[in-house]
Structure 1
């Protein structure tokens, strides 16, 4: 990759990631505000867990994942990989939960509208994409 592209991504990436994160939560807030019925707390959980997962995998430095990583304090590489695995499991479970709530909302008339379920999926996808964008673009300097 061109050095200018990498530099531009390091400059613009975190701001763009924040905008995508905000857009994800904007979809959710729009759906809750426009809903004709009260949205239960259960519908909030996929977005909350997606945000938590994005925070979890942004706690890991990119340099710590390499196979040539050596620490005199013991084998910490497997802990880092386990942490990332748990973060990705949380992210995929939050996305699956959002899809499940969409199906539930589409099949029943008692809950929120289908738009609330679609917005929950958009929220999870945008939040997780923004977390990955930030992780790839921020520098440790």
Structure 2
């Protein structure tokens, strides 16, 4: 069963040239997702200002996701491969360690937001919107990170 989609090719649309617009589209989509994540969390914080409804400590997941977003996107793919940057503190190894720490922060924040959703809201029988807001904030920041990191080409930056 492994590899049954190896020969499948998604039909390409020849009417749109994505080559020159790929970076712009990826940046705009990532920015909209990032903004939407924070907008949902700000909305939940305004609608539920009481500490019992939305614990203020739950905002740390979004802060760590945002820090991880900047950490992950501060390292280019060329630096990780060793093509674009070999000098400096640790070179390619340092770039890989920095990227690994960024992804660990991102996954940790996403898992913590799921824990908050189920542990603090679903199992307690409370209104789940604040928990969903924490989860969707981190999920949208996670997807915006992936789109911004892997959706752009780097030929324009080299």
- The structural deviation recorded for 1:62 is 1.8
Answer yes or no: is 1:106 the counterpart of 2:119.
Answer: no
Aligned residues: 139
- The structural deviation recorded for 1:108 is 2.5
Name the one with the larger helix percent: 1
Give the gaps of 5 or more residues in structure 1.
none
TM-score, normalization by structure 1: 0.83
Give the gaps of 5 or more residues in structure 2.
1-11
Answer yes or no: is 1:135 the counterpart of 2:149.
Answer: yes
Structure with larger RCO (C-alpha < 8 A, sep 6+): 1
Please list, as runs of the form range in 1=range in 2, the aligned pairs for 1:1-141 lying within 5 A after superposition. 4-35=17-48, 37-38=50-51, 39-66=54-81, 71=86, 76-103=91-118, 104-108=120-124, 113-136=127-150, 137=152, 139-140=156-157
Q: Is the 8 A contact 2:80 2:95 kept in 1?
A: yes
Deviates more, 1:13-22 or 1:87-96: 13-22
CA distance, structure 2, for counterparts of residue 71 and residue 27 of structure 1: 41
CA distance, structure 1, for counterparts of residue 49 and residue 80 of structure 2: 47
CA distance, structure 1, for counterparts of residue 98 and residue 121 of structure 2: 33
TM-score, normalization by structure 2: 0.75
Higher CA-based Rg: 2
